[in-house]
Amino acid sequence: MTPETLRSDTAAPERGMSSTLSAVAAPRPRLVAGMAAGQLGIFLALLTPILVSLQLKVQAIVPESDQVSSLGIITTTGSVAAMLANPFFGRLSDRTTGRYGRRRPWLALGMLGLFVGLLLIATASSVAVITLGFVIASASANAALAAFVATVADNVPEFKRGKISGLLGIMQNLAPTVGTWIAKYFTDQMLLLFLVPSVIGILLVIGYMLVLPDKPLERKPPREGFRAVLRTYWVSPKQHPDFAWTWLSRFLLTLANWMFTTFRLIYLQHEMRLSAAEATETLAVGVLLYGLVVMGASLTAGWLSDQVGRRKPFIAVAAVSFGVGMLILSQADTIALFYCAEIVLGLGFGTYLGVDLALVIDVLPDPDNPSKDLGIFNIAMSAPQIFAPALGALLISLGGGHNYAILLITASLVCLGGALAILPVRKVR
């Protein structure tokens, strides 16, 4: 299969797209399957350490009194690296020349760097080394992610983006479910705990690279100065307000998500008084329920969004649902209620993921060179990970104890803000 076979001389159905991306034909089944596998692979390798492995590693080498603050430092530093890396490598991807295309080299290098970073964390004996490893892993994963998301914009037409966005949302949330269950069997084997998910992820991304139609640039881009590099991190809100409002909505929803997710395992240990092994097993079941609901909601929302030609109502409903789930968690005092909250959270976040990527691509400032702007948009996913651990740790510590109720109520209000932020978007209904 060549890149040309995925292009069409006939424009896609008229929905406001004027760029060459509107001439992309519907992707073939094996490309869609490869795309799903690639999404699963990247997030399996990246999210498993964040959700489980990193917390267990910190608990293994850090005194209990310092675990929350150490985890906050590690994840915050890694998130800074992720925030800077995504648009930077996205710009490099847009400008990459060579026989292997614009996206494949960065998919390969990103996954290799992710493996190296996780290996460093697994063998570390200090917080400083763990932090260094997480910086390498986060930056590398975002190099791969920037290239991957650009392949979606390169190969999926507007009238299919909701469906593909829903499928990728399923894979993104299947990843932590699979990763958590893998972690369940390697709780006492730190090296395998980190490396097994990453090796599986690498193999899945390689499979995607083999079917990816990645057309090389026909001409070498002109050289750019330092100012052009700085512009990598900027899109004018005044010139592109729809992009700016969409960015803000994702930022707030992601902030609310990570305010809790960073401390999910420790929350179970503190609030439910579970051991590390019991909390890991409970988390595995909770993430399984969450993932199943996310998969169903994501695929349904993406399909419905394409059918009705609307994105914004789904985002608003998702944000409100996610906020309700946070409120339920704030009152949870049993494992059963924790599972109930996971289901509501899954419904909200699944609906969001079903239309998120489709909405973003619809409002891109430069659809013909999508990777840089998608990288800026992904700052809305990585930047909250900088603030969320520190903000979450501060809220938990209020009153001198483990005050998770304040954390979760605050997160629900942030979700409401994310719903309101999508309302001013005009280009997309």
Q: How far apart are CA 191 and CA 88, in angstroms?
A: 30
The answer to whether residue 18 scores a pLDDT higher than 70 is no
Mean pLDDT calculated for residue range 385-402? 77
More confident position, 255 or 91: 255
Q: Please, where are the H alpha helices in 363-403?
A: 370-382, 384-397
pLDDT in tens, 74-106: 888 887 888 888 888 887 888 888 788 889 999
Q: CA gyration radius for the chain?
A: 21
Q: Contact at 8 Å (CB) between 258 and 388?
A: yes
Q: How far apart are CA 29 and CA 423, in angstroms?
A: 34
Mean pLDDT calculated for residue range 351-355? 82
The answer to whether residue 257 scores a pLDDT higher than 50 is yes
Two tokens, residue 254: 């992601």
Two tokens, residue 187: 């709780």
Give domain status of residue 189, yes or no. Answer: yes
DSSP, collapsed to helix, strand or coil, labels residue 7 as strand
pTM check: above 0.75: no
Range with lowest mean pLDDT among 27-36, 229-238, 283-292: 229-238
Residue 322's CATH number:
1.20.1250.20
pLDDT in tens, 272-321: 888 878 888 888 888 788 878 888 888 888 888 888 888 888 888 888 88
Question: How high is the pLDDT of residue 206?
Answer: 95
Q: Contact at 8 Å (CB) between 193 and 183?
A: yes
Q: Of 36-50, 80-94, 216-230, give the range with the top mean pLDDT.
A: 36-50
Residue with tokens 């609901």: 293
Amino acid at 279: A
Q: How far apart are CA 181 and CA 50, in angstroms?
A: 14
Q: 3 CB contacts (<8 Å, ≥6 apart)?
A: 213, 214, 215
The answer to whether residue 175 scores a pLDDT higher than 80 is yes
Q: How far apart are CA 176 and CA 184, in angstroms?
A: 12
The pLDDT confidence band at residue 21, using thresholds 50, 70 and 90, is very low
Give domain status of residue 108, yes or no. Answer: yes
The pLDDT confidence band at residue 14, using thresholds 50, 70 and 90, is very low
pLDDT in tens, 112-171: 999 999 999 999 989 999 999 999 999 999 999 989 988 887 877 766 777 787 788 778
Q: How far apart are CA 375 and CA 359, in angstroms?
A: 15
The CA-atom distances, in angstroms, between 237 and each of 48, 350, 374, 378, 384 are 34, 28, 15, 16, 19
pLDDT in tens, 44-78: 998 888 777 888 888 888 887 778 788 878 888 88
Give domain status of residue 126, yes or no. Answer: yes
Q: How far apart are CA 379 and CA 360, in angstroms?
A: 13
Q: 236 CB contacts (<8 Å, ≥6 apart)?
A: none
Taking the chain, what is the end-to-end CA distance rounded to the nearest angstrom?
Answer: 35
Q: Of 106-110, 242-246, 253-257, 393-397, give the range with the top mean pLDDT.
A: 106-110
Q: How far apart are CA 348 and CA 117, in angstroms?
A: 32
Give domain status of residue 306, yes or no. Answer: yes
Residue span of the structural domain in which 196 resides: 26-219+237-421
Range with lowest mean pLDDT among 34-38, 396-400, 420-424: 396-400
Question: How high is the pLDDT of residue 42?
Answer: 93
pLDDT in tens, 317-350: 888 888 888 888 888 888 999 999 999 998 988 8
Give domain status of residue 363, yes or no. Answer: yes
Give domain status of residue 230, yes or no. Answer: no
Question: How high is the pLDDT of residue 3?
Answer: 36
The answer to whether residue 4 scores a pLDDT higher than 50 is no
Q: How far apart are CA 121 and CA 116, in angstroms?
A: 9
Give domain status of residue 79, yes or no. Answer: yes
* Backbone φ and ψ of 7, nearest 5°: -105, 155
Question: How high is the pLDDT of residue 129?
Answer: 94
Q: Contact at 8 Å (CB) between 167 and 392?
A: no
CA angle 30, 35, 38 (to 5 degrees): 125
Two tokens, residue 134: 């997480």
DSSP, collapsed to helix, strand or coil, labels residue 390 as helix
Number of structural domains in the chain: 1
Torsion angle, alpha carbons of 334, 338, 343, 347, to 10: 130
Question: How high is the pLDDT of residue 17?
Answer: 37
Give domain status of residue 151, yes or no. Answer: yes
The pLDDT confidence band at residue 108, using thresholds 50, 70 and 90, is very high
Question: How high is the pLDDT of residue 401?
Answer: 66
Question: How high is the pLDDT of residue 114?
Answer: 95
